[in-house]
Amino acid sequence: MDTKAFPTPALSALEKFPVVFNDQISYAGPLGAAWAPGRVNIIGEHTDYNDGFVLPAAVDRVAAFAGRMRADQTVRLWSQYFEEAAQFSLAGLPETFDAQRADLPGWARYILGVVSELTRDGIPLHGFDAVVGGDVPLGSGMSSSASLEVATAQTCSFFSNGTFSIGNTDATLTPMQVAAVCQRAEHVASGLRSGILDQAASCLGRPGKAVLLDCRSYEYRYIPFDTPGISLMVIDTNVRRELASSGYNERRQQCEEATKLLHDMITPDDPDAAAQVKALRDISPTQFAHYKDRLPEILRKRAGYIIAENERVFQAVAALEKGDIEAVGPILWRGHAGLRDEYQVSCLELDILVDIAHSVDGVLGARMLGGGFGGCTINLVRNEAIEPLRLAVERYYPERSGRQAIIDICRAAGGPGQAVV
């Protein structure tokens, strides 16, 4: 086996496969693995479901499946993380989704969700047996759920006679179509009305690149994010809050309300301009400055954050395209302040980590990452500041929060992949 072809979690899942699936059934294909990355989002948080702009990068952490195609319609799974088995059938999907979902553990629901949404799109699929592993931290904001979904799609591609393939020129589904299938899967599996950011970032990953994605048109463009001398540190608060999913859906609703009110305010002044207002993405900062005082305070804050955050995405892109990554730092600090004060999705522990980062020389910028209410921060750090930041977090975070943080260093990495043994 060419071990270099596989990321480490895929190798570990491959090793486990014969141990778990040892009932000697006759398989319809060879042993192989498929995987897909988690992501960081450099800037553009909560803008995706406002039809706005995001700037994520896939990272060198993946969800991985190792398995073999079956001759029937059964899918048997073993999760290395949860040390738990799950099983479902392709028969009757998507109609049998709800009934089958009810009997599955949470992690397997994402997999069923993707399989079910692929069948809805008429993609013919085979059953398979697979060990599911990975090294994207769960629930920390690096989008382990999207990595799991996209790795599922990649696995199905692998096991479906090449009917579609991610990132392949013969693809019957483009990477963004796969992302959209996986986004739908997230909705039906978890009830979170998430935007397209996480799944798109995973599908589109490229080493040394970030992706500027327009979440309305799905147009995207790669932006250099190869940063010699500068590292991306991801620091996990170790806080997971139930609030996350209800808080997220509530923010989404508030953005819709703000859009509607702004639309109605603009209509008498300029009906043509108002007709263009479908989402907060369509409100310019100048328009917002003109009308914002007529919005209820809470909606003024929410909309103000989103409109400024879209601008920050373009500021960061301009800086990166000039090769001036140092200029991205202040954009991250400002992004965090907006998430904390206006969008109000931060929490004490995230604020403490950002505050500590701010006190260390050579940290260019930091902000909370992902939906909020817990999870991790991303920190853009000069290499000589890695150790000082680590020491500062180890010293002050437990003192101020009563918890231990988990520190990781990531790099911008490639998208989904697959290989046979």
Catalytic residues: 198
Let me know how long the chain is: 421
How many residues lie near Mg ion (CB under 5 A)? 1
- For ligand ADP, the closer of residues 266 and 366 by Cβ is 366
Amino acid found at 162: G
Q: Return the CA Rg of the chain.
A: 22
Q: How far apart are CA 229 and CA 381, in angstroms?
A: 9
Residue whose C-beta lies closest to ligand ADP: 134
CA distances (Å), 380 to each of 50, 113, 159, 284, 359, in order?
26, 35, 39, 29, 14
- For ligand ADP, the closer of residues 112 and 325 by Cβ is 112
For binding to ligand ADP (CB under 6 A), which residues are involved? Answer: 63, 79, 81, 106-107, 110, 132, 134, 136, 138-145, 148, 370
Shortest Cβ 139–Mg ion spacing (Å):
8
- For ligand ADP, the closer of residues 132 and 277 by Cβ is 132
Among 357, 340, 138, which residue's Cα sits nearest to residue 232?
357
- For ligand ADP, the closer of residues 107 and 128 by Cβ is 107
Q: How far apart are CA 90 and CA 117, in angstroms?
A: 11
Residues in region 112-151 near Mg ion by CB under 5 A:
145
DSSP 26: P
Helix, strand, or coil here: 245?
helix
Shortest Cβ 133–ligand ADP spacing (Å):
6
At 272, list the tokens: 């043509």
Shortest Cβ 370–ligand ADP spacing (Å):
5
Helix, strand, or coil here: 347?
coil
Answer with the entry of ligand ADP, Mg ion, none that 148 interacts with (C-beta below 5 to 8 A by kind).
ligand ADP
Among 253, 317, 258, which residue's Cα sits nearest to residue 288?
258
Shortest Cβ 277–ligand ADP spacing (Å):
30
- For Mg ion, the closer of residues 117 and 129 by Cβ is 117
Among 314, 414, 312, 321, which residue's Cα sits nearest to residue 367?
312
Residue whose C-beta lies closest to Mg ion: 145
Shortest Cβ 293–ligand ADP spacing (Å):
36
Under the rule (CB under 5 A), what is the footprint of Mg ion?
145
